[in-house]
Amino acid sequence: MIEIRNLHKSFGSLQVLKGVDLTLEKGKVLVIIGPSGSGKTTLLRCLNLLEVPDQGTLELGGLSLSFGSKLKKESVLSLRQKTGMVFQSYNLFPHMTVMQNVMEGPVTVQKKDRAEARGRAIELLEKVGLAEKADAYPHQLSGGQQQRVGIARAMAMEPEVLLFDEPTSALDPELVGDVLKVMKQLAAEGRTMVVVTHEMKFAADVADKVIFMDGGYIVEEGPPQQVIGNPTSPRAVQFLKRIS
Ligand code: ADP
101: pLDDT confidence band, cut at 50, 70 and 90?
very high
pLDDT of 195 higher than 90 = yes
| Cα–Cα distance for residue pair 125/6, rounded to 1 Å | 39
243: pLDDT confidence band, cut at 50, 70 and 90?
confident
| Cα–Cα distance for residue pair 59/62, rounded to 1 Å | 6
- Calculate how far, in angstroms, residue 15's C-alpha sits from the geometric centre of ligand 1: 10
Checking ipTM against 0.95, whether it exceeds it is yes
For atom 22 of ligand 1, the residue with the nearest CA is 11
What's the predicted TM-score (pTM) here? Answer: 0.95
- Calculate how far, in angstroms, residue 99's C-alpha sits from the geometric centre of ligand 1: 33
Mean pLDDT along residues 13-32: 98
Query: pLDDT tens across 108-129, in order?
Result: 999 999 999 999 999 999 999 9
Mutate to test the pocket of ligand 1, among 7, 40, 42 (most ligand atoms within 8 A of CB): 42
Give the position, in ligand 1's atom list, of the atom nearest the Cα of 42: 6
Q: 138: which residues sit within 8 A by CB, 6+ positions away?
A: 90, 92, 93, 94, 96, 98, 101, 146, 149
Angle at 82 between CA 78 and CA 88, to 5 degrees: 120
Phi, psi of 162 (to 5 degrees): -100, 130
| Cα–Cα distance for residue pair 231/71, rounded to 1 Å | 38
What sign results for the dihedral spanned by CA atoms 27, 102, 33, 183? negative
For atom 25 of ligand 1, the residue with the nearest CA is 11
Angle at 159 between CA 4 and CA 176, to 5 degrees: 90
Q: Look at residue 2 in the predicted model and tell me its pLDDT.
A: 98
Query: pLDDT tens across 44-54, in order?
Result: 999 999 999 99
Q: Look at residue 9 in the predicted model and tell me its pLDDT.
A: 98
Query: pLDDT tens across 208-233, in order?
Result: 999 999 999 999 999 999 999 999 99
| Cα–Cα distance for residue pair 129/112, rounded to 1 Å | 24
* 14: DSSP letter: E
| Cα–Cα distance for residue pair 17/139, rounded to 1 Å | 36
- Calculate how far, in angstroms, residue 10's C-alpha sits from the geometric centre of ligand 1: 9
| Cα–Cα distance for residue pair 224/230, rounded to 1 Å | 9
Question: Mean pLDDT in the chain?
Answer: 96
Q: Look at residue 13 in the predicted model and tell me its pLDDT.
A: 97
pLDDT of 244 higher than 80 = no
| Cα–Cα distance for residue pair 114/112, rounded to 1 Å | 6
- Calculate how far, in angstroms, residue 131's C-alpha sits from the geometric centre of ligand 1: 36
- Calculate how far, in angstroms, residue 156's C-alpha sits from the geometric centre of ligand 1: 29
Give the rounded percent of residues in the chain with a pLDDT score beyond 90.
97
* CB-defined site of ligand 1, < 6 Å: 11, 14, 16, 34, 36-42
Q: Look at residue 161 in the predicted model and tell me its pLDDT.
A: 98
